[in-house]
Structures are given as C-alpha cells and as structure tokens.
Amino acid sequence: MRYFIGDVRDKERLKRAFEGIDIVIHAAAMKHVHLAEYNPMECVKQILMVQKMLLMQH
C-alpha cells in the first residue's frame, strides 16, 4: 500500500500514483462543511468531477 497526496487536476501526478496499481481508494474530504450546508449541489458537483477525473485516468 502506498499513499499519495496531490491535486486530481494534475494528470502527471495521477499517472505516477496509478503506476502498477489495481485498486484506488479516494479519501479526500470537504474541508469547509459549513459552506456545503449552503451549497450542497456545488459539493456534489465537485465530488463527481473528482471521481470522473480519477476514472478517466485509470
């Protein structure tokens, strides 16, 4: 098991993180929960965008 910290928008970092990997556990969290209470759909869109980027890379 190995851990990587990075920005999912950084394609080169994702490529490096996925080298030789069969399973990916994405464990990012929203840091500003109070903002999510007022903007729930923006948070959902952010989560979906990240998932899409991870799937496209792998």
| pLDDT of res. 52 | 86
| pLDDT of res. 58 | 61
Place of tokens 């990587």: 4
| pLDDT of res. 13 | 86
| pLDDT of res. 55 | 83
pTM of the model: 0.56
Distance of alpha carbon 6 from the chain centroid:
9
**CA-based torsion, 7, 55, 49, 26: positive or negative:** negative
Work out the average pLDDT over 1-23.
Answer: 85
Q: What is the pLDDT of residues 13-53, one digit of tens each?
A: 888 888 888 888 877 766 778 888 888 898 888 888 888 88
